[in-house]
Structure 1
Amino acid sequence: MGIQIGVDGGGSKTEIVALDQTGRVLRSLRKPASNYHVVGMEQAVQHIIEGIGEALQEETLEGIGISLAGIDTPEDWKIMADGLKKRLMILAQETMIPYPEVPVVLENDSFGALMSVKGEFSGNVLAVGTGAVALGVNNEGEVFRVGGWGYLIGDQGSGYDIGRKALTAMAASFDGYGPKSLLETTITEHLRLAQVYEIKDWLYRSKRTNKEVAALVPVVVETARMGDCISQSILVEAGRALGLLTRALLRKTKGLELGLVGGISCIWESLELSFQSTLQEEFTGLQLLKPIYPPSVGAALLSGISQVRRIIF
């Protein structure tokens, strides 16, 4: 029996699955982070190779799909491919993997997200968690990506963006140079701070990650439900920003289907109205889809796609 192995890696964890020829998950496991910008190249490669090795058993290996956060530029891809290639060759000697007959795909995690929507290398996906990126494939098989520029110059509408704006509003409310907001109280209580000013220690002394800032999103949603206008406006802006991201992608792909992947699905009702209003005149028939597979399965399915980048042995 042949299997495909999928690796979905990010800044907090790495999910690995083994699929049989029917797409059934035979094994699944989790390893620590594999975004090399977060944990370094050595640790990222180690976690990926360990996961692949543990997912392999007696079956015939037909392909490996590796879908990782942090593979954003050609240089990122080359660095990661070179690191993985050496360790994969060692693994091949131990397990008799017949490279180069077995394809090994390496792509950004948005590719695994796209495949998770319908199991096909087609359509469009909006992947929003800590960051935000949209990826699509048109009818000619051309691949387009919008967003994914990182938190310094992009990621508008992302979890980090919402959390950062909430913290900014909290400080402005406390100092009095901005509108009064319930975020001043709700964030303080959520983080168990004695007073608002302790947010500086929480942020800077502890060197909080973007993921920890993004974890404030549920607080913003709840505060918006309490009637806080500032929280409501932050969510409206986020929905609009994601609408603009999607519009830019759909203009390139001409598609009318969009998969929603990531933590965005948990708060979609708070974003949908402003998101749809940004698109309604130009893309009135847009259909929103929930993914049918987890991203790790999407990564495994990537190994059978020809339009993606492969590690050459």
Structure 2
Amino acid sequence: MSASSAGSTTVDATTGAGAGDVVLAVDGGGSKTDVVAVALDGTLVAHARGPGSNPQTRGWAVAGPILDDVRSRVVREIGTRTIRTTHVYLAGLDLPEELVTATAALAHWSGDGGAPDVLDNDLFALLRAGTLSPDAAAVVCGTGINAIAVRRDGETARFPAIGDVSGDWGGGAWLGNRALWHAARAADGRGPATALESAVPAALGRRTVREVTEDLHFGRLDPGAVGHLSPVLFAVARDGDTVARAVVERQAEEIVLMAAVAMERLGIGGAGSTVPVVLGGGVLAARHPLLVDAVVRGLQDRVPGAVPTWVTAPPVLGAGLAALESVGAPAGALDRYRAAVASRSFSSTAAPIP
């Protein structure tokens, strides 16, 4: 199922039949999974959070139970309310075969409120959170990196986004790895001096890069910790370190390149047009000035009609908006849900909303 397959049943979201109904929206990324139940008037009814559920990196044997658990906590909270529709947006659904597998993996939800009516890549949720424009692009740079462009006739441009083998570069985990790589080369003389040499081991509770390397090799340090070094890289770059700044600039180039290529494939953007480029994910949402400035300059140079639009709200905002729209919820309901997401600190457990 694609993001354009949602139904269009019109309901009265505030009175009469269906007033107690809800929509379910699911966003599963590389680092966390959010599920919300939203009343048809836009009221946030329940929310639960769990670990990342990207099936491409974790496999369905791990991602499936995570999704089941987080969703079931929300379903328990809503009690006897009818689920009008379910929209699911997951990182890692990049290839047609992956969409087919995902549809089969979540089909059992049909016995508990309904299988997903819409199931697609989480970029669609990011896109909806940032714009309603029929011609647009989106780039997510969080744990990994991916991009999409859509055109008003329904055509899309996508990337496989499965790592080195599909030509990808960047994302928080990759940047963390680069921070350690440059630190190691500075420490043994193969690379230029950089403040990463001291900042990286300090962030990992070690005295030297050699300790980090050996502890990773012998299993005394969780390899996943390296993927969380992205903030260290940006902090060192902010302080003027040449090596770290070069990595940040390279990341900006890739963000611009992915957006530009996706737009060019569809023939959108360019002089005389205005096309939003929605930017989200943890790395982009942090709004690091060096990265922001480089992305803005790069888009201006490559695609003059591109208008960068940052989304700092959780991606489940876009998932919920799309679900509400699919059942005909009015504009006021969308505004109410947007305000609820903006004002609520999403916790790690399910909670009914007063």
**TM-score, length basis structure 2:** 0.74
- Secondary structure of the 1:281 match is helix
Q: Using a 3 Å threshold, how does the CA distance of structure 1 residues 133 and 291 change in structure 2: closer, same or farther?
A: same
After alignment, is 138-147 or 118-127 more displaced? 118-127
SS in 1 for 2:158: strand
Q: Deviations over 1:47-79 (max 9, x none)?
A: 323333333333332210111122222222222
1:113-151 deviation line (CA, Å, top 9, x unaligned): 222223677522111111111112112121222462325
Tell me which of 45, 52, 55 is aligned to 1:36: 55
**Residue 89 and residue 275 in structure 1: after superposition, are their counterparts in 2 closer, same or farther (change >3 A)?**
closer
Q: Distance in 1 between matches of 2:67 and 2:133?
A: 24
- Whether the 8 Å CA contact 1:66–1:106 is kept in 2: the answer is yes
Q: Alpha carbons of 1:80 and 1:147: their partners in 2 closer, same or farther (altered >3 Å)?
A: closer
Match of 1:11 in 2: 30
Contact 1:131 1:151 in 2 (8 A): no
Q: 1:108 aligns with which of 121, 137, 141?
A: 121
Quote how far apart the aligned CAs of 1:109 are. 1.6
Residue 51 to residue 224, structure 1, CA distance change in 2 (3 Å): closer
1:230 corresponds in structure 2 to 243
Indicate the residue corresponding to 1:309 in structure 2.
none
Task: Tell me which residue corresponds to 2:88.
Answer: 66
Residues 15, 122 of structure 1: alpha-carbon distance in 2 compared, 3 angstrom cutoff: farther
CA distance in 1: counterparts of 2:25 and 2:181, whole angstroms: 39
- Among 112, 119, 123, the residue aligned to 1:91: 112
Shift of 1:16: 0.4
Query: Is residue 65–residue 301 contact of structure 1 (8 Å, CA) maintained in 2?
Result: no
1:147–1:154 CA contact under 8 A, matched in 2: no
Counterpart-to-counterpart distance in 2, 1:74 and 1:43: 21
Contact 1:66 1:300 in 2 (8 A): no
Contact 1:162 1:214 in 2 (8 A): yes
What secondary structure does 2:23 align onto? strand
User: Greater CA deviation, 139-148 or 152-161?
Assistant: 152-161
Aligned partner of 1:193: which letter?
R
State the distance in 1 between where 2:73 and 2:202 align: 43
Unaligned runs of 5+ in 1: 307-313
Q: CA–CA distance in 2 between the matches of 1:153 and 1:40?
A: 18
Partners of 1:37 and 1:147 in 2: CA distance: 11
| Number of residue pairs aligned between Structure 1 and Structure 2 | 295
* SS of residue paired to 2:112: helix
Residues 269-294 of structure 1: CA distance to partner in whole angstroms, max 9, x if unpaired?
11133323333234234322233853
Unpaired runs of at least 5, structure 2: 1-18, 270-274, 328-354
Q: How does 1:198-217 map to 2 (within 5 A)?
A: 198-204=211-217, 205=219, 206=221, 208-209=223-224, 212-217=225-230
Identity in percent: 27
* Residue aligning to 1:311: none
Find the counterpart in structure 1 of residue 314 from structure 2. 294
Indicate conservation of the 8 Å contact 1:125/1:260, yes or no.
Answer: yes
CA contact (8 A) 2:169 2:251 kept: yes
User: What is the distance in 2 between the residues matched to 1:202 and 1:40?
Assistant: 27
Pairwise CA distance, 1:179: 0.9
> Aligned pair in 2 of structure 1 residues 224, 51: CA closer, same or farther (>3 Å)?
closer
1:123 and 2:136 aligned: yes
RMSD across aligned positions (CA) = 2.6
1:22 offset after TM fit, Å?
Answer: 3.5
SS in 2 for 1:127: strand
Does 1:283 pair with 2:303? Answer: yes
* Structure 1 Cα separation of the partners of residues 212 and 118 of structure 2: 43
CA distance in 2, matches of 1:299, 1:27: 15
Structure 2 partner of 1:52? 71
| Residue aligning to 1:196 | 209
